[in-house]
Amino acid sequence: MSKQMPPLRGRMVARDPEESHRAATPLELLFDLCFVAAVGQAAVQLHHGLAEGHFTPAVLGYMMVFFAIWWAWMNFTWFASAYDVDDAPYRLLTLLQMGGVLVLAAGVPATFHDYDFTVVTIGYVVMRVAMIAQWLRAAAEHPEGRACTLRYAGGIALVQVGWLLRLLLPHPLGEIGFLVLVVAELAVPAIAERHSPTTWHPHHIVERYGLFTIIVLGEVVLAVTAAMQEDVADGGWSAGLLEIGVGGLLMIFAMWWIYFKHSVVEHLRDSLRSALTWGYSHLFVFASVAAVGAGLEVAIDADAHKAHLGEVSAALTVAVPLVVYLLLTGLLHAGYSDAGKSPAVISVVGSVLLLATALLAHTIGVSMAVLLLGVLMALLLTIGLASQREQVSGAA
């Protein structure tokens, strides 16, 4: 039997939050791939800034750009979990959002080099205008959820005016305006969902976040592979390059396994606060994953004496985002799964060891430090799996 064609025009109604076999759609996966293009651009600029030793402006610019990417992705993801009619208007508005993120990606270099947020802001506002249209359509076609959907549409529209006006602010008022608008953006879902929440699906949300994590990890693999190929083309293979390659692969694999080690589905709907905390914290989870890739590229440059920073600083560009990732995933697993406190304890101890290893780079070299960071991540994963196994055995 052939698969039924999607309607050209359907009615947007709320999805069932208890719907069985709720899975990510091919459109959502294509949407994610477009966003990873923007993530890759942000990571490239972070790599260049760190390699030049411009730590503060590089990290600040990276987080500002990454917030725009992540927030637009997150808003569509939660909307699509509650409303997904999958007809032609829905797909075309999703296409508009994909176009907006590609515009944003094109403007990323200007934000780092010239501190010009014009193109990034235009791309971001295009994505948000498409979301306003989606929420207004939901308000028109799903009267039961109209109060919530109109709060979303109105709140998003108001904040977008603020983003456009922010372009007129000089430095440092622009940074202050950015922080104010970030708080305003984060407040919209908290206000909109308070009295009449949308019917998002916990299994679908967890899957969507997991898939985006995998895609960003894939972007890290691609970026590091390209950096290694460039280094090989310049000077051939070396022991240091192999050490960074093995260490990086161990990190990436351990990061993937650690993220999926525990399920948070059963606790995600405990409260609105729980859902928002879990969803919002992934800004730093996703950003740290991409930043690990940028740090590995810096380590490759430092090993080849192409970077303008010391070996300890180069090793820390890998270790610091690893620590952020490890701490956040540990806290999330401790708070949103039945694993108890062990993930958080392992993460804290592991973070201390990771930072200590990076500080040894002046003695053992940056490539060996990266290799040991990868081995440590694998060891922490092994300890976590053993702890998980003991807990399951004890419960049985």
- pLDDT tens per residue, range 76-104: 999 999 998 888 999 999 999 999 999 99
Give the pLDDT confidence score for residue 337 in this predicted structure: 78
Distance set, CA 31 to CA 22, 63, 341 (Å):
18, 21, 35
pLDDT in tens, 223-264: 999 888 988 887 778 889 999 999 999 999 999 999 998 888
Q: Residue 83's beta-bridge partner residues? A: 14
150 pLDDT above the threshold of 80? yes
The number of residues making up the chain comes to: 396
Who contacts 225 (Cβ-Cβ below 8 Å, separation ≥6)? Answer: none
Give the pLDDT confidence score for residue 395 in this predicted structure: 55
pLDDT band at 312 (very low <50, low <70, confident <90, very high): very high
**What does the mean pLDDT of the chain come to?**
91
- 238 and 306 Cβ atoms separated by less than 8 Å: no
For the segment 286-309, the average pLDDT, to the nearest whole number, is: 93
Residue ranges in the chain assigned as alpha helix (H): 26-51, 55-82, 88-113, 118-141, 146-166, 173-192, 202-235, 239-259, 265-268, 272-303, 311-336, 342-359, 361-364, 366-395
Give the pLDDT confidence score for residue 343 in this predicted structure: 87
Give the pLDDT confidence score for residue 106 in this predicted structure: 94
Q: Coil, strand, or helix at residue 14?
A: strand
Give the pLDDT confidence score for residue 1 in this predicted structure: 43
pLDDT band at 269 (very low <50, low <70, confident <90, very high): confident
Q: Report how far residue 231's alpha carbon sits from residue 20's, in angstroms, rounded to the nearest whole number.
A: 49
For the segment 315-334, the average pLDDT, to the nearest whole number, is: 95
Q: Report how far residue 259's alpha carbon sits from residue 328's, in angstroms, rounded to the nearest whole number.
A: 10
- The CA-based angle 95-280-268, given to 5 degrees, is 100
Give the pLDDT confidence score for residue 172 in this predicted structure: 85
For the segment 37-55, the average pLDDT, to the nearest whole number, is: 93
Q: Coil, strand, or helix at residue 83?
A: strand
396 pLDDT above the threshold of 60? no
- Nearest CA-CA partner of 82 in 201, 244, 211, 168: 201
Tokens, residue 309: 């920073």
Q: Sign of torsion, CA 377 379 384 385? A: positive
Q: Sign of torsion, CA 194 199 203 206? A: negative
For the segment 119-146, the average pLDDT, to the nearest whole number, is: 95
Q: Sign of torsion, CA 353 291 297 49? A: negative
Who contacts 334 (Cβ-Cβ below 8 Å, separation ≥6)? Answer: 340, 341, 342, 343, 344
Lowest-pLDDT range, 149-158, 160-169, 336-345?
A: 336-345
- Based on the number of CB atoms within 10 Å of its own CB, is 85 exposed (0-12), middle (13-18) or buried (19 or more)? buried
Q: What is the pTM of this model?
A: 0.92
Other Cβ atoms closer than 10 A to 1: 3
Q: Residue 14's beta-bridge partner residues? A: 83
CA 325 to chain centre: 11
The residue assigned the tokens 């050490």 is 243
pLDDT in tens, 106-122: 999 999 988 899 999 99
Lowest-pLDDT range, 20-29, 147-156, 207-216?
A: 20-29
Q: Report how far residue 23's alpha carbon sits from residue 47's, in angstroms, rounded to the nearest whole number.
A: 35
**R_g of the chain computed on alpha carbons:** 22
Q: Report how far residue 339's alpha carbon sits from residue 341's, in angstroms, rounded to the nearest whole number.
A: 7
Q: Report how far residue 95's alpha carbon sits from residue 28's, in angstroms, rounded to the nearest whole number.
A: 11
Domains of the chain: 26-192 (no CATH), 202-395 (1.20.1410)
Q: Report how far residue 137's alpha carbon sits from residue 34's, in angstroms, rounded to the nearest whole number.
A: 24
The residue assigned the tokens 């948000």 is 128
- Nearest CA-CA partner of 246 in 51, 383, 385, 378: 378
Give the pLDDT confidence score for residue 3 in this predicted structure: 56
340 pLDDT above the threshold of 80? no
Give the pLDDT confidence score for residue 392 in this predicted structure: 62
- The fraction of the chain above a pLDDT of 90, given in percent, is 73
